[in-house]
Amino acid sequence: MSGPERSGGADVNAPPSVVLVTGVSRYLGAHLAARLAADERVRRVVALDTSAPVGALAEVLSAAGPKLDLHQIDLRTPGVLRVMVDARVEAVAHLAVATATDQHGGRAAMKELNVIGTMQLLAACQQAPRLRKLIVRSSTAAYGASFRDPAIFTEDTEPREVPRGGFAKDVLDIEGYVRGFRRRRPDVAATVLRFAPFIGSAVDTRLTRYFAQPVVTTVFGRDPRLQFLHVDDAFEVLVRSVTEEHPGTYNVAGGGTLTLSQAVRRAGRVTMPILEPGLNVLAGLGRAGVTLDQLDLFVHGRVVDTGKLIREFGFTPRTTAEAFGEFVRSRRERELLPADTIRSVEQALLDGFRRTRAARAALESGDE
């Protein structure tokens, strides 16, 4: 079934005058809504989330002025469609995608928000008569991470293994729903943005907290290649996706790579290698400081090609090294350990690990 026809003969290449942003109780959604409200090309921003923004995010939205209209509505209810129709929404930026479980409901609540919430939102979008643009947050986690991976992923690369982590599984489901929406509403330009992990001075995620630990657990014998994306570059791509015409799926990441060991050293931290099975158990119990998605990334790494983004958007994000360097500089100097100290502590940890393995092997041979 095709979607409703738009009335008024509006210029489809003009920036949308009314934009709905989901997920505004989180950093990405709140700041995008505020940036769009500050854009003179946008007449009105409808900011929507299941829970009301609090603290600094509430202040960000309050400072956005009268162009921003905040609604506390569950994506899984009919209220979303009513808001879209009443506000005459022309573009939707869907950022209400949780990247990890929290204390409220665990994995079940995360999947309900990500998968069911997206499905219901797209059902409302299908019926929105003036909608002409949809932007959906996704992740490079959609490619998974395994020993069979190619050196570089392009947007056409299929996952070689089914991801273990909940977030990666959710983004695959989300992208599947978007493909179905594209078939039902070919008149709507749908953009899927596969973001690399965010980094930056203002970012507070499991990943940034991982690199802020005094001693960083890593997988013994593994040193994967990583890519990061500065969050300000993510905002630039999001704003351009809303105000310009860029249908399709895009990898969004900083150019170049850092190995995990390079990143840890630049963060002024010390690594503590752990055998993969042990770290798997800790991650599964939520005690490793990383999710299963991130653990697989720290075993196999992931590098994506961003040529399509650069060509189509005319924008090049800052490199992975530059983005990570800004994150490191934002940390207070007293938190960083001198390079000599890092090397000596790492060597002591490695020597202790080797002694433990040798003692265990000696015990096992004695039992025989």
**Both ends of the chain: CA-CA distance in Å?**
71
Residue 164's identity, in one-letter code, is R
- Asked whether the predicted pLDDT for residue 286 surpasses 60, the reply is no
Cα 325 from Cα 317, distance rounded (Å): 14
CB atoms within 10 A of CB 66: 7
Place of tokens 């330009």: 189
Report the C-alpha gap between 165 and 111 in whole angstroms: 11
- Confidence label for 4 from pLDDT (cuts 50, 70 and 90): very low
User: What's residue 163's pLDDT?
Assistant: 85
Return the structure tokens found at 210.
């991982």
Closest CA relative to residue 76, chosen from 116, 104, 106:
116
Residue 290 pLDDT: 66
DSSP states of 114-172 as a string? IIIHHHHHHHHHHH-TT--EEEEEEEGGGG---TT--SSB-TTPPPSS--SSHHHHHHH
Q: How confident is the model at residue 102 (pLDDT cuts 50, 70, 90)?
A: low
Contact 258, 225 (CB under 8 A): yes
Provide the 8-state DSSP code for 304: B
Residue 28: pLDDT over 90: yes
78 compared with 365, residue with greater pLDDT? 78
**Tens-place pLDDT, residues 169-208:** 999 999 999 999 999 999 999 999 999 999 999 898 888 9
Helix-strand-coil split of the chain, %, nearest 5:
45, 15, 40
- Beta partners for residue 249, in sequence order: 192
pLDDT above 60: residue 284: no
Query: Cβ contacts of residue 245 below 8 Å, gap of 6+?
Result: 12, 13, 189
DSSP state of 3: P
pLDDT surpassing 70 at residue 222? yes
Q: Which of 67-71, 98-102, 265-269, 348-352 has the highest mean pLDDT?
A: 67-71
Q: What is the DSSP letter of 368?
A: -
Residue 8: the pLDDT is 45
**Residue 161 DSSP class:** S
- The DSSP code sequence of 240-285 is HHHHS---EEEEE--SS-EEHHHHHHHTT-EEEEE-HHHHHHHHHT
User: CA 34 to CA 57: how far, in whole Å?
Assistant: 10
What pairs with residue 192 in β-bridges?
136, 249
Mean pLDDT in residue range 116-142: 97
C-alpha span between 225 and 102 (Å, rounded): 28
- The helices-and-strands tally (H runs, E runs) of the chain is 14, 13
231 vs 288: CA distance, rounded Å: 25
Instruction: Find the length of the chain.
Output: 368
Q: d(Cα 68, Cα 84) in Å, to the nearest integer?
A: 14
Q: Quickly state the pLDDT bin for 13 (edges 50, 70, 90).
A: confident
Which range is least confidently modeled, 31-40, 65-74, 288-297?
288-297
Return the residue matching tokens 């690990």.
Answer: 353
Structural contact between residues 264 and 216, judged by C-beta atoms closer than 8 angstroms: yes
Spatial separation of the C-alpha atoms in residues 278 and 135, rounded to whole Å:
39
CA distance 91 to 15: 9
Determine the average pLDDT of the residues in 217-232: 94
Average pLDDT score over residue span 145-160 = 91
Specify the pLDDT at position 2. 46
Q: 357: pLDDT confidence band, cut at 50, 70 and 90?
A: low
What is the arithmetic mean of pLDDT over 44-60? 95
The proportion of the chain whose per-residue pLDDT surpasses 70, expressed as a percent, equals 82
pLDDT of residue 322: 97
- Give the dihedral sign, CA 145/146/151/153: negative
The stretch 241-266 carries a mean pLDDT of 97
Average pLDDT, the chain: 87
Across 229-238, 298-307, 349-358, least confident range: 349-358
Q: Residue 177 has what pLDDT? A: 97
Other CB atoms within 10 A of residue 221 CB: 9
Report the pLDDT value the prediction gives residue 294, as an integer from 0 to 100.
82
What DSSP string describes 320-333?
A: HHHHHHHHHHHS-G
Beta bridge partners of 138: 194
